[in-house]
């Protein structure tokens, strides 16, 4: 079996670490692993398959012998370095939003549009976490019942922001537990407000039209991935959860569909696991989805306010399928083809 | 000014305590205050206007000289005792779901359908918390732009369940902070799962059609209060928040409406406060809505996936406007009329 030189850029961040874990878990055929980061992290080590590997400086020239470069170091780093890596022959799989809506760059979820991965010109974009778990579920439904409109509200964990937001929630929890106060002050808050005992409808920055960029990603990326003209509208909310995003998705369909048909369809969909037995209080929950590869769906039920309507409750680990796993799956697609 | 004998039934519960607080805050004209509870709470005292008052046993005969009896002791108690109280001349304002959909019992939100309060036959029902804060906002919009369809997803605090759920969240937080583990085991869990670092689409019990009773309340109660035939569909979710429910509400309107018109309209609506300046990260949040009488609205924006669509983000203290305050406001309505 062919083996590859793989770079992980942003190797010390929450997604970078998850990428290393997923590469190890899935036994991706690696010849050389190169963990890369900014100056700040130089000297650090990461663990991979029981070995300690020094983190090296992320700069253009390190990519000359790299086959796959998984980027998760933020948009500005991707914009600067990813084209340089591609120029040097690496295929970049970029987890930032930098290239996602670029017409020259495929945006890929392997269960949905694997064929797009092969049209790359050196860079492939990994979609936004909240988009990935939604399209994995929407795709089989759209293929079979044609989606007219999607109204989605999200419940997104702090790890989607990054390590500092995870730290913020832990520190706030500790202060609350210690003081018995519900409102606590932190010196180094990275989220726009206290998140413990709180939530806010604000993820990423606001655009002119009043939507956040996160909400617009769910609209635009979904259509790019599904090559569709789907009406999607979203409200994205940050909740005091560490890992896993949840989504309440209301779907209006062209064709009649009953919940049983949707349940059956999703039970056989790749990457999807149905947990839907409300008589036994069985439905997906973020605390228990964390660490899993699957996108979990439950609360599948008819919405009778439209001719053919369905509600779904979709939960997935935002660091795994929402980021690291999806990126590694893209590399696997390319590697399989190159065998 | 006329003064009244007021009983608070379930005076030691989270809503009962809040009722006492609201009666005091609003200086409701009280001659005699009678805090009532089940046998279990006898011997306890409550504080009211600086005085300690002994909790007495909730039984039919105590109501013979009561003008207003505010009930919040659960459906089975209401079903048994409320008709007895009414028979003895008290006007019952019942916070349970026992009588809400009873054709003989008005279901009242003073800002929405005050006139219904006067059609009572001894019992008036206080709507469900998540319904109240929604209809306060929907009413002016429906009057002006006619609502076709509402798709709502909720983010509901644990105090909506009651005191034991609040205790559960606090205990889980303490265990998490102490152990550093994300999953903790509690002996006396009342919610269907751990709620700290978690959430679940499950409030009240499930019905045959896959909806929870909470979700059906939002549909049925909204239509009863608004005397409408509105298409409403909901997903209700419990989140790790102590107080205040949040709602992402997507509304399809008959008439064209832009966000500015809705913002203007809601700024002048009774009981509503608009917090909507996203350029300054200003939007309602549950942690900061707790303790307020108002229903807060923000993130008012156009949804272009339908001809006339609007998104709203609505937050309110579920113990205040969602329960205690609304009940006291109903008593005030009746008291004003009887002056």
Looking at residue A207, what is its pLDDT?
97
Helix (H) / strand (E) containing B158:
none
Residue A235 has pLDDT above 80, yes or no: yes
Show residues of chain B in contact with A313, CB under 8 Å: 201, 235
CB A158 within 8 A of CB A165: yes
- Reported as a single tens digit per residue, the pLDDT across B12-26 is 999 999 999 999 999
Structure tokens at A15: 């997604």
pLDDT of residue A339: 59
DSSP assigned state of A282: B
- Which residue in chain A has the smallest CA separation from B200? A285
Supply the range of the domain harboring residue A83: 4-127+323-338
Question: pLDDT category, B106, cuts 50, 70, 90?
Answer: very high
DSSP track, A105-150? S-B--TTT-GGGGGG-SSEEEPPPHHHHHHHHHHHHHHHHH-EEEE
Pair (A242, A269) in one structural domain = yes
CATH of the domain at B104: 3.40.50.720
Q: Are residues B145 and B294 in the same domain?
A: yes
> Do A82 and A196 share a domain, yes or no?
no
- CA distance, residue A122 to nearest chain B CA (Å): 35
* pLDDT score at B144: 98
* Average of per-residue pLDDT across B192-205: 98
* A299·B259 Cβ contact <8 A: no
Q: Where are the strands (E) in B107-244, listed by range?
A: 123-125, 147-155, 231-235
**Of B193, B160, B243, B166, the residue nearest A287 (C-alpha):** B193
Number of compact structural domains in chain A: 2
Average pLDDT over residues B194-204: 98
| B174 and B213 housed in the same domain | yes
The mean predicted confidence, pLDDT, of chain B is 97
Same domain, B237 and B279: yes
The residue from A9, A120, A129, A236 that is catalytic is A129
Which has more confidence, B338 or A196? Answer: A196
Annotate A71-85 with three-state secondary structure. ECCCHHHHHHHHHHH
Q: What is the pTM of this model?
A: 0.97
Residues of A in contact with B287 (CB under 8 A): 182-183, 193-194, 197-198
A151 in the same domain as A60: no
Yes or no, beta carbons of B302 and A210 under 8 Å apart: yes
CATH code of the domain covering residue B243:
3.30.360.10
- CA–CA min distance B88, chain A (Å): 41
**Owner of token pair 């008291």:** B335
pLDDT for res B188? 86
Contacts of B241 in chain A (CB under 8 A): 197-199, 240
Chain A to chain B Cβ contacts (< 8 Å) = 166
Tell me: do B161 and B117 sit in the same domain.
no
CB spacing of B246 vs A183 below 8 angstroms: no
Question: Tell me, what's the ipTM?
Answer: 0.96
Residue A137 has pLDDT above 90, yes or no: yes
> Are A148 and A252 in a shared domain?
yes
Nearest to B132 by CA among B294, B280, B299, B258: B294
The pLDDT value recorded for residue B338 is 73
Q: How far apart are CA B233 and CA B116, in angstroms?
A: 24
Is the CB of A186 inside 8 Å of chain B's CB atoms?
no
Q: Please tell me whether residues A108 and A241 are part of one structural domain.
A: no
- The verdict on whether A245 is a catalytic residue reads yes
**Is the distance from CB of A237 to CB of A194 less than 8 angstroms?**
no
Instruction: For residue B250, name the pLDDT band (cuts at 50, 70, 90).
Output: very high
| Residue indicated by tokens 């929450």 | A14
């Amino acid at each position: 079996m062919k083996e590859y030189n793989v770079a992980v850029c942003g190797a010390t961040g929450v997604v970078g670490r998850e990428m290393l874990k997923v590469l190890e878990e899935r036994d991706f055929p690696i010849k050389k692993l190169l963990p890369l980061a900014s100056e700040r992290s130089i000297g650090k080590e990461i663990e991979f398959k029981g070995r300690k590997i020094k983190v090296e400086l992320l700069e253009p020239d390190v990519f000359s012998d790299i086959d796959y470069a998984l980027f998760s170091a933020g948009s500005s780093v991707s914009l600067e370095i990813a084209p340089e890596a591609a120029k040097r022959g690496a295929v970049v799989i970029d987890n930032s939003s930098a290239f996602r809506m670029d017409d020259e760059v495929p945006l890929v979820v392997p269960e949905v549009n694997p064929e797009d991965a092969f049209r790359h010109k050196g860079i492939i974009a990994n979609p936004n976490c909240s988009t990935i778990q939604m399209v994995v579920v929407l795709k089989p439904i759209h293929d079979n019942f044609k989606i007219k409109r999607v109204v989605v509200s999200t419940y997104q964990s702090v790890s989607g922001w990054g390590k500092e937001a995870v730290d913020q929630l832990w520190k706030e929890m500790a202060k609350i537990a210690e003081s018995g106060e519900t409102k606590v002050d932190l010196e180094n808050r990275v989220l726009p407000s206290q998140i413990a005992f709180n939530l806010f409808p604000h993820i990423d920055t606001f655009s002119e039209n009043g939507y956040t960029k996160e909400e617009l990603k769910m609209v635009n990326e979904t259509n790019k991935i599904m090559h569709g003209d789907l009406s999607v509208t979203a409200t994205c909310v940050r909740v005091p959860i560490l890992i896993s995003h949840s989504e309440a998705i209301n779907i209006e369909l062209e064709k009649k569909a009953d919940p049983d048909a949707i349940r059956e369809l999703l039970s056989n969909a790749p990457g999807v696991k149905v947990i839907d037995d409300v008589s036994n209080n069985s439905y997906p929950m973020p605390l228990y989805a964390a660490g899993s590869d699957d996108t979990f769906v439950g609360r599948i039920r008819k919405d009778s306010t439209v001719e053919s309507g369905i509600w779904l409750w979709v939960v997935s680990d935002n660091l795994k399928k929402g980021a690291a796993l999806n990126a590694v799956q893209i590399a696997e697609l390319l590697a399989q083809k190159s065998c």
